[in-house]
Structure 1
C-alpha cells in the first residue's frame, strides 16, 4: 500500500494558523484604517483586505480537506480529486499571495504619497495663514482706499461747484467779449477821426506851449517893471529925505503925492500879479486839460490797437498792400455747414452743463431744422466718436411732460422728427423711470443707430457728449 502524501498545509499544521493570523492582522489593519480620519487613504486598502480574506478562506478550506483526508483515508479516488483541487487551490493561493505582495508594495507607495500629501497640506496651511494675513492687510488698505474715495468724492463735488462757477464766469466773459466784438467796427470807423483829433490836439498842445512861453516872457517883463517901480520908490524916498531939510510943507505935499503914486503903483503891481496868477492858472488848467485829453486819446488808441489785434486774430490780413481782410466763418474746432458752425465735443457733461458751455461760446445746443442738417450732424458725430455714441441736443420736455420744445423756444411738433423705433420694444420717447425716478426729459442722438432714426430721450443728469451750433 502506497503511503499517503502529506499536503504542505497538513504536514505543517502551523502554516494554516499563521495564514489565519496574517488574515486577522490584515483585517485588524483594515479596521484600524477604517477608523482613521483619512477616509480617502483607507479606500486604497480595500483590495488588499479582500485578497487577504480570500486567502484566509482558501487556507481554511485546505485545513478542512486535510481533516477529511485523515478521517476517510480509505476513499482514495475521492481524495485524489480533492488533492488535485487542493494543489490547484494552492497555486491560486500562491498567485493571490504574489498579488498581495504587489498590493503591499502599492500600499507602501500610497503611504509615501499620503505622507507627501500631508506635507503639501501643511504647506497649504502655512500658505493659507499667509494669505489670511495678506487678506487682513488688504482689508485695511481697502478701508483706507474707501476713506480716500470718500475724500475724493467730496473734492470732486467741490471741483464740480467750482467748475460751474467758472462756467458762469466764462459766460460773463464771453458776453463781454461779444460786446467788445460789436464795438470793433465802431472803433475801426472812428480810428481816422481819433487820429485827426490826436493831430489837432498835438497842434493845440504846441500852441499852448507857445502861449505858456509868451506868458513866461510877459511875467518876466512884469517883474522887470516891478523892479523899476521899486527903484523909483527908493529914489523918491531919497528925494523926500533931501527935501525934508529944505521945506517941510512942500515935502509933506510931495510926500503925499509920492505916497499916492506909490499906492497906485502898488495897486497896479497887485493887479498885475493877480492877472499874472490868473493867466498862469488858466494856462495850467489848459495844459492839464490838454494832457488829460492826450491821455484819453492815448488810451483810446491803445484800445484801438487791442481791437485791431483781436481783429487780426479773427479777420487776418491776406494782402498787406491792399489791406484786404478775410474773416473766419467758424472758430477753430468748429465745423461749417450751410450758414452755421457746429461743435462736436469729445468730453461728457450733463444736459444743462452742456448747454451752459455752448452759451459761453456764443451759441446753444443743436436745433435740427432739416433732414440734410440731421444727416450732417449724425455723420460728423460718428467721425469724432470717442467717449460714447450719445450726444446731447437742444430739446427737452422738462416743463410739460410730452410737449417737447427746442432751446430756441419753438415746438418740436412743428419740425421734422427722427425718433428711434425698435421692433418689439416700442418707439422713443418712452420716459423710462427705472434709472431716474424723475424720468427722461432731455433729448440726445445715438450715432450707433441710423441717421433718420437716432433720437432718444434720456435722464438730464446723465453725462453725454454734446453738439453746439451758432450762426456764422
Structure 2
C-alpha cells in the first residue's frame, strides 16, 4: 500500500510539474503575441498622429494661401476705390461744366427771346408803316420773308423740343436699366443664400467626422479595457499558481526559481503594459489636440473663404460701379458736346437775329425817309444795285439759297410764298454763278433744286414759267438718264464729279427727294 501511495505521489508530482511546464509554455506563447498586438496598435496610432500632422500642415498652407488672396483682393479693392473716387471727381467736373453750359444756354435763349421781341416790335412798326404806305408791295413780300424765317425758327424750336423729349426717354431708359440691375443684385443675394446653405451642409459633414473620431476614441477605450481584462486574467492565473505552490510545498525549491523567473517576466510585461498604456494615452491626447487644431484650422479656412467671397463680391460691385461711372461719364461728355453744339447753334441764331434786327432798323429808317417817294425796294429788284442778306445779286436778279431741305414741288411753292420762283438759268454766266452759289458750308452734299422739270411730258423739259428748254442745257455726262423712269426734276451739283466743270453740272433726280433749293426774283 505504501509503495502504491508513493507511486501515486510521484505521478501526481509529475503531473503538477507537467502542468507547470505547460503554463510556462502557454505564457511564453501568449505574452509575445499580446506584446506584438500592443506594439502594432502603437504603430497605428503613430501613423494616425503623422497623418493628422500632415493634415494640419496642409490646412496651414491653405490658410497662408487664403491670407495672401485676401491681401491681394484688399489691394484690388483699394485700387478700385481710388478709380471710383477719380471717376466721381470727373463726373462732378463734367456736371459743373454741364450746369455752366445750361446756364449759358439759358442766357442765349433769353437773349434770343429778347431779340425776337425786338424783332416782333420792329415787325409791328413795319406793319404800321405798311398801312400808311399801301404802295410798298415789296415791303409786304419782305414781311413774308420774315414770316418764313420765323416759321423756320419755330421748326427749329420744335426740333429742340423733340431733342429734349428724346433726352427724357433716355433718362427713363436709364431708370429701367437701374431697376434691372437691382433685380440682378437680388438674384446674387439668392445665390449667396444658397452658398450659405452649402456651408451649413459642410459644417454638418465636419460634425459627422467629429462623431467618427469620437467613435474611434471609444474603440481605443475598449482596447484598453481588454488589456485590463488580460491583466486581470493574468492575476487570476497568478493566484492559481500560488494555490498550486501551497499544494506543491515539497517541490517549492525547484519551482521557486521558475516562479521567480516568471514573476520577473510578469513584472516586465506589466511595466511594458503600463508603458504602452501611457503611450496610448499620450497618443490619444495628441490625437485630441490635433483634432482640435484641425477643427480650428478648418474654421479659420471657412472664415477666410467667406472673407474671400465677400472681397470678390465687393470687387464685382466696385467693378460694376466703375463701369456705371464710366458710362455716366461718357453720357455726360456726350451731353456736354450736345450742349456745346446747341450753344454754337444758338450763337449763330443770335447773330442771324441781330443781323435781321439791323436790316429791319435800316428798312424802318428808309421807309421813314421815303414815304412819298418811289420805294427803294422796287428800284432794288429792277437794278440789283444793293444786296441784302441772305439774298445774293447777279445781273438784274436776286438769288436766295435755302437753309432747309424740301422736295421739288415744296421748294417751288416755298419760292412762290417768298414772291419768287425756282431759279431759271438763261446764260453760261448765270450757270457759273449758280454752280458757285451752291458751295455753302452747311450744304454737305453740294446740290440744289432749280426750276426745270419734265413732269408734264416725259422728255420735254420746261422751266417753272412754262417755257420749254430750247438749248442743249448744262447736263452732266450721260444725263439726263431717267433711272427707273422716276427722275423728272433737275438739280445742280457742285461736287468732285463736277469740279472745274460748272457748265456740265445738271442732273435729273427723283422729285420727292428732299434737298436744298435756289429761289430767284427778277
TM-score by length of 1: 0.31
Per residue, is there more helix in 1 or in 2? 2
TM-score by length of 2: 0.28
Larger radius of gyration: 1
With a CA cutoff of 8 Å and minimum separation of 6, indicate the structure with the bigger relative contact order.
Answer: 2
